[in-house]
Chain A
Amino acid sequence: MALTNETIKARLTEKFGDQLSHVEEPYGMLTFEAPKELNLKVLNFLYDDEELKFRFLTDLTAVHYPDKKGRELAVVYHLHNMTDNIRIRFKVFTDISQPDIYTATGLFSAANWMERETYDFFGINFVGHPNLKRILNVEEMDYFPLRKEFPLEDQTRIDKDDEMFGRG
């Protein structure tokens, strides 16, 4: 029997109950959220479960939402079950003042550089990562450039006024 979003949802609720939240299906991909302490438990369950078998880490990245107090940073995992050819998206949110998340390197070797990249750009501290240092930026950098507080253009410029086009 092919795996569907409904069966995955049922299996997950059976295991984790109401600890999972924000279960949605944007553009057909099952998306859900778990408390950040549970991220490894959920990943492990998805990996080991004989029915779910999400054993391929497609992508790992982060998003910064400065307006969400207490849950500013989201770490997003894209997992793929290659046997049944189905993908899911799994998110954990963390406070920006203490962005500690357990590393997934024990489960996926692929997570190593993906987590380094995420640390490099968002400053998420992956607890237990074997080599958590900057990967694309220079090591002397002392900020995390993809956070929203760093505007792309020099804010002191006065010769460019975009106010007229609704994007001040």
Chain B
Amino acid sequence: MGSDFLKFLNCPLEKLSNYQIELIMSEHHIKLPEGSIEKTTTTLNLGPTHPATHGVMQNILELDGERIVSTEQTIGYIHRAFEKLAERRPLAQITTLTDRLNYCSSPLNNMGWHLTCEKLLGVKTPKRVDYLRVIIMELARISDHLICNSIVGVDAGAYTGFLYVMQYRELIYEIYEEVCGARLTTNIGRIGGFERNFNDIAFQKLEKFLREYPKVLKEFENLFQRNRIFMERTMGTGAISAERALNYGFTGPNLRAAGVDYDVRVHAPYSSYEDFQFNIPVGTTGDNYDRWLVREKEMWESLSIIEQAYRKVQDLKGAEAEVYHADVPEYYLPPKADVYTKMEALIWHFKIIMGETEIPAGEVYNSIEAGNGELGFYLISDGGRTPYRLHFRRPCFVYYQAYEELIKGSMLSDAIMTMSSLNLIAGELDA
């Protein structure tokens, strides 16, 4: 077999039969002299500060040549004890913690948290608030998927796409900035609605985005979708079956790429998602290419949802067209001018800031479709000013444990792409 092996090596790959290729693969790639005490595999420390991990996480890979034999993932490098911190904070102050989960789409986490609080407190939001939230959430989804898909490109060696779309993500950040004043860790919205109404500039920027972005997305798609090098790098790598994906608790685009059409926006609609028409793109093989395609198609769906929501906002008449928060003085801060001049407003302001308003005791699980899948908040309130216990169900944390199964036996370079196409965000992973 040894001499056969050498013969194959000089032969062009396409001339080999599958059996011969398998034979090569079954060979150990590192040959040691007789009696050597070295091992035949190489240990490679990928991370915690390796640029290809796009975040602080470590993988101790056992390599046979370029093939991965096994891996051990170490996480927790940016663990910030959010669940413990949340036990000392009134509900409104926890929003800033959720910003720092998946920081590529903070508004989604913020809205998820507000919706959880509203479920606990029994707050009903007006339609306009729902639609404005949908606009912000779908913008955040686009920026999240855009990062992920362009980073997959970077890991395949195509830097242009990434650099090009960044200036269009900027348009999304400018809209956030107009609405809430922040760009990355947004702390957008409040329990019951938004802290202030959207101004005209925000809507102009939204229109600009809706006008300019589709063209760019199409161009970005043309760079990758049918690009032969990209397809060959991504197809068949990092694949997972629907059964295994479900068993591993996959949600979001990664699950849909494996062919399961589970989407929280449809299965448990929140924020009036039932008013919108959109498709859920699904893949078949669950590999890197399908994950890329699902995210790409979802961006188009998000664009269509934003357009529908914007039209619905414009169609609202009278008082409905101005409202931007629910009428809940117990939880929603009064206007600052009133705080300085009116006794009632001052009292509410003080009570809310000090966390002295009545919070009902109860247990709530609420989830939203975040950029990476089902982001759940399990909130237990004992009626005190702070949650008794808060647990974040972070989609990243749940599906990253499948990484070893996804990359076992594949090349090191494919493992890097698998990691980026899973859209692993260290902030969400470690909480």
Contact = CB atoms under 8 A, between A and B. Distances in A.
> Which of B83, B247, B374, B400 has most A Cβ within 10 Å?
B247
Contacts of B75: 135-136
Nearest to A166: B356
Contacts of A136: 75-76, 79, 430-431
Contacts of A64: 389
Interface in B386-431: 388-389, 391, 393, 397-398, 400-402, 430-431
Contact of A113 (B268, B391, B397): B397
B389 A59 contact: no
Contacts of B354: 165
Contact of B88 (A110, A138, A153): A153
Given A78-B378, A109-B244, A121-B83, A58 B249 contact: yes
Interface string B361-380: 01111010000001010101
Interface in A84-104: 85, 87, 89
Interface string A42-66: 0000000000000111110101100
B393 A137 contact: no
Interface string B98-129: 00000000000000000000011000000000
Contacts of B88: 152-153
A59 B393 contact: yes
B81 interface: yes
Given A110-B249, A136-B75, A85 B268 contact: yes
Contacts of A56: 246, 249
Interface in B324-357: 354, 356
B84 interface: yes
Nearest to A56: B246
A108 interface: yes
Interface of B: 75-76, 79, 81, 83-85, 87-88, 119-120, 244, 246-249, 260, 262, 267-268, 354, 356, 362-365, 367, 374, 376, 378, 380, 385, 388-389, 391, 393, 397-398, 400-402, 430-431
Interface of A: 26-27, 29, 31, 55-59, 61, 63-64, 76, 78, 82, 85, 87, 89, 108-110, 112-114, 117, 121, 134-138, 145-146, 150, 152-153, 165-167
